[in-house]
Amino acid sequence: MQDDFGIERYALDFQVNKAMMDQKLVNFTDLSRTLRLASEGITISEFDTGKEMIDIKLYSKASPSDPFLTFERLTVPNARGEQIPLTQIAQVNPTFSIQNIPHRDLSRAVTISSDVKGRTATDVMAEIKPLIEKIPFP
């Protein structure tokens, strides 16, 4: 069996402690900006080539180390201008994420295919249709 959902990739999941953010006077805008600076960069301007506009992005210095170490070393500014370690206001967990979600007519769609040697499509559909109808879809 195969599907067209794509290959999962490693990702990091941040569990934010809102109570600790409030206590340390850190807002979500500064937290988000810090995380983007360390990962995808922040657009700070645009350069006009005469044909197209190219984003100019600011990134934190690349670290050859483990991504967990990079995020453990990050600090987030608070309302007083103090640097609060990210580890005090958020927990970082490894996870997986799907690289793309296919769509058909603006709705999410997944195509599943299988090799059904020695059987006709009609036989297979008659067998799996009742099973699919039992699946609780949102």
- Residue ranges and CATH numbers for the domains of the chain are 2-133 (3.30.2090.10)
Strand partners, 71: none
Q: Tell me, what's the pLDDT at 6?
A: 59
Q: Locate all alpha helices (DSSP H) within the chain, ordered by sequence.
A: 18-24, 28-38, 67-72, 86-89, 121-133
Residue pair 33/74 in contact (Cβ under 8 Å)? The answer is no
Is residue 37 exposed (0-12), middle (13-18) or buried (19+ Cβ within 10 Å)? middle
Q: Tell me, what's the pLDDT at 76?
A: 93
Q: What is the pLDDT tens value at each position of the chain, 138 positions in all? A: 555 555 566 667 788 999 999 999 999 999 988 888 777 777 889 999 999 999 888 776 655 566 667 777 889 999 999 999 999 999 887 777 666 677 788 887 777 777 778 888 888 889 889 998 999 877
- DSSP structure class, residue 64: -
Residue pair 91/15 in contact (Cβ under 8 Å)? The answer is yes
Q: Tell me, what's the pLDDT at 100?
A: 66
pTM above the 0.85 mark?
A: no
- CA 2 vs CA 112, 113, 114: distances in Å: 6, 5, 6
Centre a 10 Å sphere on the Cβ of residue 92 and count the other Cβ atoms it contains.
18
Structure tokens at 64: 């050859």
